[in-house]
Structure 1
């Protein structure tokens, strides 16, 4: 049996997180897939495309084999409820 416990996280400082939460999945068909996520505060005036390119380049720098991968999922949302 598996149980899940939920706890309040009001003690986590939001200042330590970026203004936006992102998720990006890249796939090399038949060879592999990589999903990464995090938070980031884009520079003033940045577009969604600008952020996408920066994040994709970030993943490729960590995983060079993903340089020619297809993007199968990208989400960028304000990091606020």
Structure 2
């Protein structure tokens, strides 16, 4: 018999997490898209725009072909319920 249970909160918090959760999707017109996400603690005094630019640069560094891509989706939320 197989038992299926949801992971506990302690299971998902095993590794340290940042203060904010983010998701960013970049897409080329009529072409490829990439979505990335994670958690991050922005530097003190950072604006939402500062965080967007830093995260976009982070994604483009890993996917250089997205350097001229459009932002299709961006979400930045406090990492708490």
Q: How big is the shift at 1:19?
A: 0.2
Measured on the aligned residues, the alpha-carbon RMSD in Å equals: 1.7
Report the CA distance shift for 1:12/1:31 in structure 2 as closer, same or farther (over 3 A).
closer
* Counterpart residue number, 1:80: 80
For structure 1, list consecutive stretches of 5 or more residues without a partner in the other structure: none
Equivalents in 2 of 1:69, 1:13: separation in Å? 33
Residues paired across the two proteins, number: 78
- Which contiguous aligned blocks of 4+ residues in structure 1 show a shift greater than 4 angstroms? none
Q: Give the 3-state SS of the residue equivalent to 2:10 in structure 1.
A: coil
TM-score relative to the length of structure 2? 0.87
Rounded to whole Å, the distance in 1 between the matches of 2:7 and 2:62 is 33
Q: Find the counterpart in structure 2 of residue 35 from structure 1.
A: 35
1:30 Cα deviation after fit: 1.8
Q: TM-score, normalised by structure 1?
A: 0.87
